[in-house]
Amino acid sequence: MAVDTSVIGKPTGAWKVTVERGPVSKFAAAVCDNNVVYRDPGAARDAGFAAIPAPPTFTFAASFWGSFREDQPPDPSGGDNPMHRVMGELFGKGALVLHGEQEFDYHKPILVGDVLDGFGKITDIYEKETDAAVMTFVVVETKWTDSVTGAPVITERFNLIGRLKK
């Protein structure tokens, strides 16, 4: 089975997110992090932060928690997210779709009050074959920058795996 590499470099979306105290606190609770620094401005200051910081991995869910419709940039995928298309086609053929590895490169702390711009794109797609299945890996990278300065804040990468039995 040949994988279609034409989707490499294609955008998957763009977002503008306002980092708010409520979602940061709820996210910390959801990942079972009870550190008071994610809830209390005084504790955050005592820990050396100018405001409450967001927990690690927060940006992976940030577009669901702090994006306001009127602030969103145009969809660079034109409404045709290539990652959704590739995985949708595999799912339609009976593939099991799994979340694979994920990594985060932090350039600076994310703080309550920050406004972030995110831009996602497919950076790789490849297949691995076993005796029982063909696995298609789609790697998506999202770069988050400070909306005011344009400075990098975080780069996140994750892959989805479509496992199709032979």
- Predicted local confidence at residue 1, as pLDDT: 58
Q: Which element (helix H / strand E) includes 158? A: strand 152-165
Q: pLDDT per residue over 55-111, tens digit each?
A: 999 999 988 876 788 999 999 999 899 999 999 999 999 999 999 999 999 999 999
Cα angle for residues 54, 17, 12 (degrees, 5° grid): 110
Q: Which domains does the chain have, with CATH numbers?
A: 5-165 (3.10.129.10)
Q: pLDDT per residue over 9-34, tens digit each?
A: 999 999 999 999 999 999 999 999 99
What the block records as the tokens of 106 is 């932090």
Q: pLDDT per residue over 96-151, tens digit each?
A: 999 999 999 999 999 999 999 999 999 999 999 999 999 999 999 999 999 999 99
Indicate the SS3 state at residue 89. helix
